[in-house]
Amino acid sequence: MNIQMLNAPGQLFLGTDHATALAQGPRQFRTAANAIRFAIEQAAPVSLRGARLDIGTHRLGPRQIKRLHGRLTASRQG
């Protein structure tokens, strides 16, 4: 994934499983980077189990969200 895509709007689905996350609907974020930070830094950890982040036509699961958060954190520190 192109890191520049993180500046695009994102829709974040959170829930204990995928079905619950979809049923609860998405939270809208101005940037995907903000959605990732929210998911990892503020949302309940259990809600990451069913997490999905939609950025345009791309869909990211919980592992990808966590990995990108690590990259965002590293870029802020470096």
Tens of pLDDT, residue by residue over 1-29, are: 667 889 999 999 999 999 999 999 999 99
Share of the chain above pLDDT 90, in %: 83
Beginning with the edge strand found earlier in the chain, give each strand of the sheet holding 10-13 in spatial order. Answer: 27-29, 10-13, 52-55, 58-60
pLDDT bracket for residue 75 (50, 70, 90): confident
Whole-number average pLDDT of the chain:
93
Q: Which residue has the higher pLDDT, 56 or 1?
A: 56
